[in-house]
Amino acid sequence: MRGHGNLLGLYVPGNSALHRTPLWLKVLLSVLLSTAVLAARAPEATAAGLAVVTLALTIGAHTPAVQLGKTVLPLLPVLGLLLAYQGFTNGPVPAFVTAGNILVCVLAARVLTLTTPGQELLDGVVFVARPVRAVGGDPERFGLALSILMRSIPYLAGSLLDVRDAARARGLERSVRATVVPVVVSAVAYAHRTGEALAARGLGEDDRPTPGA
């Protein structure tokens, strides 16, 4: 299915400077950039932030302009509504700042996912989540849940795109049943396959001792 890997911007292998940059440094720079533009709330800061993330993607991560456009395209409806609302209520400059800052944060996160292998990202999340052990949490389980989430969302989004295209080809694009039912069936089947795969590997089971055992 053509849409399954596109939603989150999965890792693209490469040997650029950003690919070789340690994860902690990329996360730190991403957080600093996002915090700076959100705190400044100035059009100059927003424009500079957009320039930085665009250069990081096109030059640092070697992302083609077409791929960059595909990243922004799903956000256009939301950003367009936000621009219209903010422009009507507060004026064009605050509208640009608000929508532009959101885009900076999204593209900064995109840099991370494009230039960092998924397993390395998950290992980083598990490392950060280690303090939850103090309250009985399990960082590894949290990492496993996040891994399943990262795989499931693109799959389900791709399934929706494929079903919608198939319905359109049959002239049923206005039929809710022709769109919703196949997606629900696909989601349930995917959940069953995921559960079976986890069970086959002994993952996801509660291995904590039961009280009184």
pLDDT digits (tens, 9 = 90+) for 156-168: 767 777 888 888 8
22 and 108 assigned to the same domain:
yes
Residue 180 counted as domain residue: yes
- Enclosing domain of residue 159: 138-200
Q: Where are the alpha helices (DSSP H) in the chain?
A: 17-20, 23-40, 43-55, 65-72, 76-89, 92-115, 118-128, 139-169, 176-200
76 and 160 assigned to the same domain:
no
Q: Which of 66, 84, 116 is the last residue of a domain?
A: 116
Residue 34 counted as domain residue: yes
25 and 65 assigned to the same domain:
yes
Q: Is the torsion defined by CA of 166, 171, 174, 175 positive or negative?
A: negative
Residue 104 counted as domain residue: yes
Does the pLDDT at position 69 exceed 60?
Answer: yes
- Asked if 103 and 78 count as a contact pair (C-beta separation under 8 A), the reply is no
Residue 102 counted as domain residue: yes
Residue 205 counted as domain residue: no
Query: What total number of domains does the chain contain?
Result: 2
The better pLDDT of the pair 84, 202 is held by 84
Q: Which of 56, 16, 19, 50 is nearest to 34 (CA)?
A: 50
Reported confidence tier of residue 16, pLDDT bands at 50, 70, 90: confident
Query: For the residues 69-90, what does the mean pLDDT come to?
Result: 84
109 and 70 assigned to the same domain:
yes
Query: For the residues 8-33, what does the mean pLDDT come to?
Result: 84
Does the pLDDT at position 17 exceed 80?
Answer: yes
Residue 11 counted as domain residue: no
Q: Which of 127, 84, 128, 79 is nearest to 107 (CA)?
A: 79
Q: Where are the alpha helices (DSSP H) in 41-91?
A: 43-55, 65-72, 76-89
61 and 149 assigned to the same domain:
no
161 and 96 assigned to the same domain:
no
69 and 149 assigned to the same domain:
no
Taking the C-alpha atoms of residue 188 and residue 144, their distance in angstroms, rounded to an integer, is 19
Report the 10 Å Cβ neighbour count for 52.
Answer: 19
89 and 149 assigned to the same domain:
no
Query: For the residues 58-63, what does the mean pLDDT come to?
Result: 73
Residue 112 counted as domain residue: yes
82 and 152 assigned to the same domain:
no
- Asked if 72 and 100 count as a contact pair (C-beta separation under 8 A), the reply is no
Does the pLDDT at position 213 exceed 50?
Answer: no
Residue type, 146: L
Residue 122 counted as domain residue: no
Taking the C-alpha atoms of residue 136 and residue 51, their distance in angstroms, rounded to an integer, is 44
111 and 142 assigned to the same domain:
no
Reported confidence tier of residue 154, pLDDT bands at 50, 70, 90: low
Q: Which of 59, 84, 116 is the last residue of a domain?
A: 116
The better pLDDT of the pair 137, 55 is held by 55
